[in-house]
Structure 1
């Protein structure tokens, strides 16, 4: 399954044995932003007993039970995100305790369901691995290269006109090798490549 993020925040509300679980899933790319967002939720819900969260964002991924029994909140929420192949996404659940203990199994189900239900209405956005390429090409090829970029779902980031044309572009990783080969062939080896960087982006 390909990796996705979500287009905008989605929410859910569950009431289980008088406890309210307010679930929310939103696009967040790093831990610092996630921590700030959780702090904002705490401020918005001063009477809540717990604000549990899970972040799926590559090396920034994290899970926090916020005082619930270990492994009953953050980790199950993270598993929902992982199961749905989401990336760059923060899941939060604000819990107002209703006075009835749910037990470990009940908590896992509640936190899992709060996030799963929110995601039922989420608009998924595919994440495409992109590569940034820079090259120098003869002036005679500039128009041809611009047309070729469109054919390979590539975008022009920068053009500098000097003794030749310096072009910086971003292209889906799957198309990068083909595009480089096309430009090499068209320039008969005159194109000079200077940079290649990979990053994730949204299609």
Structure 2
């Protein structure tokens, strides 16, 4: 996936009635599969006919049809997540059956369409591809580097102060790695080397 990806700024919801069945779609940002499953557990309605869901976190994804015919609920919801260029997102669709069968095509449109609309209406945030980087600098270089690196959108982890200087670890957008290397090299006069964690 080379296109820019988005996650959600917060929880989102979308309600729709289709041929007397009520569909409530809920979406939330999640950082892990465990967080996605916890979200589903916290918002599922045990009195509803179906609680179908899907999530994607990077290359990890899962979906569940919860009793609907295979491939009519969870998979269309996962396709909606991908179609909306979303990642680190969990979507749950709760259905209260209204007595009219929708057929497999109708179900896929209802679940996939509800998920897509919920994500479309949600406030979204771009996902920045970051890498972890580390280097060692002197005590005198540290304040200048800290100030300049903040302008490169670096997020610092706790620095470790040694007898001869500071071990610095940070997360930085992948597209700024070359700027980081140049800055650290220039300020340390070529002495400090940036190590990028794979």
TM-score scaled to structure 2, two decimals? 0.90
What is the alpha-carbon distance in structure 1 between the residues aligned to residue 71 and residue 168 of structure 2? 50
Q: Which runs of 4+ in 1 moved over 4 A?
A: none
Task: Work out whether residues 57 and 87 of structure 2, in 8 Å CA contact, stay in contact via their aligned partners in 1.
Answer: yes
| 1:66-77 equivalence runs, <5 A | 66-77=66-77
Choose which of 19, 32, 35 in structure 2 pairs with 1:33: 35
- Structure 1 residue 58 displacement after superposition: 1.9
2:124 maps to what in 1?
124
What is the alpha-carbon distance in structure 1 between the residues aligned to residue 103 and residue 117 of structure 2? 21
Point out where structure 2 has 5 or more consecutive residues left out of the alignment. Answer: none
| 1:129-168 equivalence runs, <5 A | 129-159=129-159, 160-168=161-169
Structure-2 change in CA distance of 1:143 and 1:37 (3 Å):
closer
1:176 maps to what in 2?
177
TM-score scaled to structure 1, two decimals? 0.88
Task: Work out whether residues 63 and 75 of structure 1, in 8 Å CA contact, stay in contact via their aligned partners in 2.
Answer: yes
Task: Work out whether residues 13 and 21 of structure 1, in 8 Å CA contact, stay in contact via their aligned partners in 2.
Answer: yes
- Structure 1 residue 161 displacement after superposition: 4.7
What is the alpha-carbon distance in structure 1 between the residues aligned to residue 156 and residue 37 of structure 2? 35
- Structure 1 residue 192 displacement after superposition: 4.0
SS at match of 1:139: coil
SS at match of 1:140: coil
RMSD (CA atoms): 1.8
| 1:10-29 equivalence runs, <5 A | 10-29=12-31
Task: Work out whether residues 4 and 85 of structure 2, in 8 Å CA contact, stay in contact via their aligned partners in 1.
Answer: yes
Moved more, 120-129 or 48-57: 120-129
- Structure 1 residue 138 displacement after superposition: 2.5
What is the alpha-carbon distance in structure 1 between the residues aligned to residue 52 and residue 131 of structure 2? 35
What is the alpha-carbon distance in structure 1 between the residues aligned to residue 151 and residue 42 of structure 2? 44
1:8 maps to what in 2?
10
Task: Work out whether residues 149 and 156 of structure 1, in 8 Å CA contact, stay in contact via their aligned partners in 2.
Answer: no
